[in-house]
Chains A and B, each alone.
Chain A
Amino acid sequence: MLQLKQVSLTFNEGTMDEKKALQNVNIELKSGEFLTVIGSNGAGKSTLMNVISGSVIPDTGNVYIDGKAVTPMQEYKRSRMIGRVFQDPMAGTAPSMTIEENLAMAWARDKKRSLKPGVSKKRKTLFREHLAALNLGLEDRLSAKVGLLSGGERQALSLLMATFTEPNILMLDEHTAALDPSRAELITNITGDVVEKFQLTTLMVTHNMQQALDLGTRLIMMDKGQIILDVAGKEKQELTIEKLLNEFQRIRGEQLTNDKAVLG
């Protein structure tokens, strides 16, 4: 479903600030797999996401979605196949537009936009059904401006917008990091539910190790632009935070540089 082949990217090459963001990264995600990506600040997680989404073009290597090379494709074209939720709750929705209008824009993601009304009666019913599944009461506020929603509600809406067209790939970029613990838990639960419901191939970046262990069928750890650990299946289910930290020490021969950031 998603493949990265020998992807490398260096920022500010040849200067003092040279940074190898990705070094020969290879990933292969099968359909329906849910991958969580952890690593400390600067490990290359965000760059990995940006390379897949197309906002950054790698120096070498290719990204394939459904066997098709998408590396030269522009970000907006690629996003037909990719649903995204950002870290910042403000980033995933248009605040001055209503809930139904935001949903209508997301609904049009994998279709050609036309001069037909974005919000029709039929679509309203559909939107209401999907919103009701979130259990936040948003289904009764279809014509409320999204700017009036709380961060948690916005993030839940973003999540719905990213998933309900059943994209080939779902990418979650630390999407609970800006929320308080109870809201973060709520969004984590909703995430598990929708991924299950739509059987989405998912990639989730997180700073929160517990979240990385709770969600997903596979886990990779990144450091200095490389994948240093890749566990799946039963082994993944049995992982604990302690095991992860020990594993890091064994591989790198040093303590995790910033435990606090990683533990979240």
Chain B
Amino acid sequence: MMVAFFGAIETGIIYALMALGVYLSFRVLDFPDLTVDGSFVTGAAVSAMFIVNGQPPLAATILGMAAGFLAGCITGLLHTKGKINPLLSGILMMIALYSINLRIMGGQSNVPLLNESTLFTSITGLWNGFGISQPVNQFLSTIGITNPSIIIFALILTLVVKFLTDYFLKTEIGLALRATGDNKRMIRSLSANTDGLIILGIGLSNALVALSGALVAQHGGFADAGMGIGMIIIGLASVIIGEALFGTKSIARITLAVIGGAVIYRIVVSLALRVDFLETGDMKLITAVIVIGALITPKVLESRREKRRRLRKKAELSEAAAAEEGRNQNAST
């Protein structure tokens, strides 16, 4: 149970990078970008191929990220210069990437990384080199954390990306990027090149998605052409769950919420998979149900609160009227 729980947290933290990317496109730029399903695999495929060919895993991961950035930029170009609707530009890029990813993986639909040295095996190796790792590992494994170095590394990396995102969104360029999603006409009248900002923003978003894909491949031990299917919905689920649970007061709060949302999503899925009649193949259905739930629940709660508030007002009014009447009667008798 605890092993599965911490496993869910671990994957959640890695997928949180993808969710941060989705937050950049969907929320900051107000651009529903479906490139994600493809660029996630691109990140995985590029890093896997470099690793298989003997390159250092860190360089392979960065190159995977760069490939995602490029894919995002092309989506941005399709929309801004080609004047294609945002949804359609994303879908076109996603479809195109499916073939491109197969090409990257040398025509195979699956590239195994089991006996390769990945970012995670190097981190684990580094950790086990420390003197204290033995007793710490033993203690942690009793509470269900089998490989502490991975979870710590993933957490640090995700937090670094979070703080970089927070900082970036407050720089002069970041402000202009946010305004592009908020009020294009205004920021254009303030001399910002909105086309360029959209291309940059979608590029950065997909770079994060690809980074997440590269890490998921190295964590899971393979890159697969189908591993990106439904990724956009998972990202969206993380963003929506996070915002609903942790609030949207400031940028720093939202990015933290998105990471929290990604982790909670994984925990919910791992709990759902423990239900007897659900199978691994039901994952996508579970995801869809979670997203629908996360979208509808806040609205239902809100309208019920409103209703109760109105009823209470009504009750207060009639009470006051009754009291008034009572006073009048007392006065007359």
Indicate whether A76 sits within 8 Å of B168 (C-beta atoms), given known contacts A101-B175, A105-B187: no
Q: Which one of A94, A97, A116 lies within 8 Å of B172 (CB-CB)?
A: A116
> Separation in Å of the B308 CB from the closest CB of chain A?
26
A209 on interface, CB distance cutoff 8 Å: no
Contact (Cβ within 8 A) B189 A79: yes
Residues of A within 8 A of B193 (CB): 74, 76-77
Residues of A within 8 A of B189 (CB): 53, 75, 79, 82, 84, 86, 92
- Bitwise, A208-232 to B at CB < 8 A (1) or not (0) is 0000000000000000000000000
Complex interface residues of chain A between 85 and 125 (CB less than 8 A to chain B): 86, 90-97, 101, 104-106, 108-110, 113-119
B304 on interface, CB distance cutoff 8 Å: no
Cα A30 to Cα B192 in complex, Å, equals 27
Contact (Cβ within 8 A) B172 A113: yes
Q: Which one of B173, B178, B186, B194 lies within 8 Å of A91 (CB-CB)?
A: B186
Complex interface residues of chain B between 146 and 192 (CB less than 8 A to chain A): 167-168, 170-176, 178-179, 182-183, 185-192
Contact (Cβ within 8 A) B168 A113: no
Contact (Cβ within 8 A) A93 B183: yes
Cα A84 to Cα B170 in complex, Å, equals 24
Contact (Cβ within 8 A) A113 B176: yes
Contact (Cβ within 8 A) A94 B183: yes
> Separation in Å of the A204 CB from the closest CB of chain B?
16
Q: How many residues of B contact A (CB 8 A)?
A: 23
Contact (Cβ within 8 A) A104 B175: yes
A130 on interface, CB distance cutoff 8 Å: no
Closest chain B residue to A77 by CB distance? B191
Residues of B within 8 A of A91 (CB): 183, 185-186
Indicate whether A94 sits within 8 Å of B179 (C-beta atoms), given known contacts A75-B188, A79-B191: yes
Contact (Cβ within 8 A) A115 B168: yes
A183 on interface, CB distance cutoff 8 Å: no
Q: SS class of chain A's interface: helix, strand, loop or mixed?
A: loop
Cα A94 to Cα B167 in complex, Å, equals 19
Contact (Cβ within 8 A) A118 B190: no
Q: Which one of A79, A90, A97 lies within 8 Å of B178 (CB-CB)?
A: A97
> Separation in Å of the A107 CB from the closest CB of chain B?
9
Q: Which one of A96, A97, A105, A117 lies within 8 Å of B190 (CB-CB)?
A: A105
> Separation in Å of the A169 CB from the closest CB of chain B?
12
Closest chain A residue to B173 by CB distance? A113
Residues of A within 8 A of B170 (CB): 117-119
Complex interface residues of chain B between 184 and 238 (CB less than 8 A to chain A): 185-194
Q: Which one of B186, B191, B194 lies within 8 Å of A80 (CB-CB)?
A: B191
Residues of A within 8 A of B178 (CB): 94, 96-97, 101
Indicate whether A108 sits within 8 Å of B172 (C-beta atoms), given known contacts A76-B192, A79-B188: yes
Residues of A within 8 A of B182 (CB): 94-97
Cα A117 to Cα B171 in complex, Å, equals 4
> Separation in Å of the A171 CB from the closest CB of chain B?
9
Residues of B within 8 A of A80 (CB): 191
Residues of B within 8 A of A119 (CB): 170
Contact (Cβ within 8 A) A115 B190: no
Contact (Cβ within 8 A) B173 A105: no
Residues of B within 8 A of A96 (CB): 178, 182
Contact (Cβ within 8 A) B173 A115: yes
Contact (Cβ within 8 A) A113 B185: no
> Separation in Å of the A183 CB from the closest CB of chain B?
20
Cα A77 to Cα B190 in complex, Å, equals 9
Cα A166 to Cα B111 in complex, Å, equals 59
Indicate whether A118 sits within 8 Å of B172 (C-beta atoms), given known contacts A93-B183, A94-B178, A97-B178: yes
Indicate whether A114 sits within 8 Å of B173 (C-beta atoms), given known contacts A76-B194, A94-B178: yes
Contact (Cβ within 8 A) A108 B186: no
Cα A11 to Cα B170 in complex, Å, equals 42
Contact (Cβ within 8 A) A109 B183: no
Residues of A within 8 A of B175 (CB): 97, 101, 104-105, 108, 118
Residues of A within 8 A of B185 (CB): 86, 91
Closest chain A residue to B193 by CB distance? A76
Contact (Cβ within 8 A) B191 A109: yes
Cα A70 to Cα B297 in complex, Å, equals 53
Cα A92 to Cα B185 in complex, Å, equals 8
> Separation in Å of the B187 CB from the closest CB of chain A?
7
> Separation in Å of the A116 CB from the closest CB of chain B?
6
Closest chain B residue to A83 by CB distance? B189
> Separation in Å of the B188 CB from the closest CB of chain A?
5
Q: Which residues of A contact B (CB under 8 A)?
A: 53, 74-77, 79-80, 82, 84, 86, 90-97, 101, 104-106, 108-110, 113-119, 161
Instruction: List the 4 closest pairs (A to B, CB-CB), nearest first.
Output: A113-B172, A94-B182, A118-B175, A79-B191
Q: List 26 A-B contacts (CB under 8 A).
A: A75-B188, A76-B193, A79-B188, A79-B190, A80-B191, A92-B186, A92-B189, A93-B186, A94-B179, A94-B186, A95-B182, A95-B183, A97-B175, A101-B178, A105-B176, A105-B179, A105-B192, A108-B172, A108-B175, A109-B191, A110-B191, A113-B176, A114-B171, A114-B173, A115-B172, A118-B170
Taking A76-B194, A94-B186, A161-B190 as given, write out 5 further A-B residue pairs in contact, using a Cβ cutoff of 8 Å, ordered by the A residue number. A91-B183, A94-B187, A97-B178, A104-B175, A105-B179
